[in-house]
Amino acid sequence: MNRQSLLIGLLFCVVTFSACESFLSEKPNSSLAIPNSVADFQAIMDYQARMNAYYPPSGDIASDYFYLLDAYWQSRPEYARDAYIWRPEVEIEEDWSVSYERIFHANVVLDGIDDAELAGLTEMDRQYVKGSALFFRGWTFLQLAQLFVPPYKASEVDSPYGLPLKLTPDINDKTQRATIGDTYRQIESDLRNAAQLLPERPQVATRPSKAAAYAALSRMYLAMQNYPKALEDADSCMYFKDELLDFNTLDQQAANPFGELNEEVIFHASLLASSGALVSIDARVNCSLYEKYADEDMRKHLFFSIRADNSIQFKGIYLNSLYGVFSGIAAGEMYLTKAESLIRMGDTEKGMGVLNDLLRTRWKTGKYKPLQWSTSDEALAIVLEERRKELIFRGGIRWMDLRRLNQDSRFAMTLTRVVNGETYQLEPNDPRYTFLIPSIVIAQSGIIQNPR
């Protein structure tokens, strides 16, 4: 891609996406300069307002661990109200456009980094930047796939309902949907290649690392129900980073006990919250979920606070603000993925041992007793319940889990919400578990729409 085309592409990106939300028009003028050096491309990857923030909230909005009072529901943007009640025709244009803007930035870097001037940096720095771009592209495709691609089934890899795989910054490239299989193969390729180029651990968790790439691969394989691969990459991640917080050392009276970039964070990211679509401080946690935590479980006291009206508020966010939602990767997720994968592969005792290792750090000192089980099915149910309790408000993980677990009658759930006296339900494997591609994208590109 020549320099003129690159500048046109950058300008196109700003003009196209600024219409979606004011924050997209606040891009510094310096980012419109044509990048020439490795440092220039690193600056693109370090631009946290694009690369670490504004991940899609719709999966969380549609998940089952919270509810909104009618007044709060009414105050949400229209698409958020529709997603909350699973309206069939809901369109989430912002989730799509902001994600593809991030992919555009990654493609700009991948298009130019091999020829960029070192200008005092090293070839290792070049590889770091390239690995970062591959990570962000693969990670963003993975986020999009959990919203706009039907749940993965090995028997349907040739289905044409995959993502448009934009792999260059050229705005003239034809847009078309890949198969579901090709979509996941691209995610796998990006993240696997990123893992080969990135450092074991970053200077700061806003930057990707080998640990983050392997963690993202592990999550992808879990969505695919490929448990041997999910286990392999969870182990690879934990080889580089497996530290857990001792929840007994945290202040349960604090308004926000965890904060950003704590010891467990492998990769830091947050949801798109500028429109107020999902604000955790406004959400009420379902009492049926809250009651599953034992009094000796520190998560009950560190994750939640009781409001004046006796409703439950979530405060266990790995951010500095209760007005956002953490959507990155933390070590607890890897322990749970490893435990589930081991159990599904037949090593129940080892899997439950991994789960016990996690839970010991979550319970009051001296109060935890190792879990007991009689069958592998019972052990699996236990680990899935702990996954639900641990990964609340975690940037789409619950939505991904609902999509995959619905395919197993033992764990399939019907979701129910009541708004203004009207009851709404989402049945297992309903087509609404896949959001519609925005109609403006369909009109402009001619790609096929998701089924309804």
Give pLDDT tens digits for 241-291.
Answer: 999 999 999 999 999 999 999 999 999 999 865 445 676 678 999 999 999
Read off the pLDDT of each residue in 28-50 and give the average, rounded to a whole number.
Answer: 82
Distances (CA, A) of 208 to 139, 141, 169, 272, 402: 10, 15, 21, 19, 27
In a domain? residue 315: yes
Q: What is the DSSP string of 174-213?
A: PP-BPPHHHHHHHHHHHHHHHHHHS-SS-SSTTS--HHHH
Query: Tell me, what's the pLDDT at 276?
Result: 55
pLDDT tier at 322, thresholds 50, 70, 90? confident
Query: Tell me, what's the pLDDT at 175?
Result: 87
- What is the count of structural domains for the chain? 1
pLDDT mean across residues, the chain: 92
Higher pLDDT pick, 27 / 317: 317
In a domain? residue 82: no
Distance CA 327, CA 343 (A): 26
Which residue type sits at 133? A
In a domain? residue 372: yes
In a domain? residue 211: no
In a domain? residue 120: no
The Cα angle at residue 184 between residues 182 and 186, in degrees rounded to 5: 70
Query: Tell me, what's the pLDDT at 172?
Result: 85
What is the sign of the dihedral through the CA atoms of 257, 297, 241 and 340?
Answer: negative
Distance CA 286, CA 310 (A): 12
The Cα angle at residue 375 between residues 380 and 65, in degrees rounded to 5: 30
Distance CA 74, CA 260 (A): 30
Question: At residue 1, does pLDDT exceed 70?
Answer: no
CATH number of the CATH domain containing 330 = 1.25.40.900
Give the residue from 237, 239, 184 showing the smallest Cα distance to 215.
Answer: 237
The Cα angle at residue 283 between residues 278 and 288, in degrees rounded to 5: 130
Distance CA 262, CA 251 (A): 14
Percent of the chain residues past pLDDT 90, beyond the cut: 86
Distances (CA, A) of 440 to 47, 75, 93, 286, 397: 28, 25, 8, 36, 27
Which residue type sits at 363? W
Residue recorded with tokens 């493609």: 107
Give the residue from 182, 227, 224, 231 showing the smallest Cα distance to 401.
Answer: 224
Question: In this structure, are residues 235 and 338 in contact, taking their beta carbons and an 8 Å threshold?
Answer: yes
Beta bridge partners of 436: 91
pLDDT tier at 3, thresholds 50, 70, 90? very low
Higher pLDDT pick, 409 / 26: 409
In a domain? residue 385: yes
Express each pLDDT in 208-229 by its tens digit. 999 999 999 999 999 999 999 9
Express each pLDDT in 400-445 by its tens digit. 999 999 999 999 999 999 999 999 999 999 999 999 999 999 999 9
Read off the pLDDT of each residue in 328-352 and give the average, rounded to a whole number.
Answer: 98
Q: What is the DSSP string of 117-165?
A: B-TT--HHHHHHHHHHHHHHHHHHHHHHHHHHSPPP-GGGTT-S-S-B-
CA–chain centroid gap for 341, Å, is 19
Distance CA 365, CA 65 (A): 27
pLDDT tier at 173, thresholds 50, 70, 90? confident
Domain that holds residue 326: 247-410
In a domain? residue 395: yes
Question: In this structure, are residues 70 and 43 in contact, taking their beta carbons and an 8 Å threshold?
Answer: no
Euclidean distance between the first and the last CA atom of the chain, given in angstroms as a whole number: 39
Q: Using N-to-C axis directions, what is the helix angle for 331-344 and 210-223, rounded to 10°?
A: 40
The Cα angle at residue 163 between residues 432 and 334, in degrees rounded to 5: 80
Question: At residue 25, does pLDDT exceed 80?
Answer: no
Residue 111 token pair = 């298009």
In a domain? residue 347: yes
Higher pLDDT pick, 106 / 5: 106
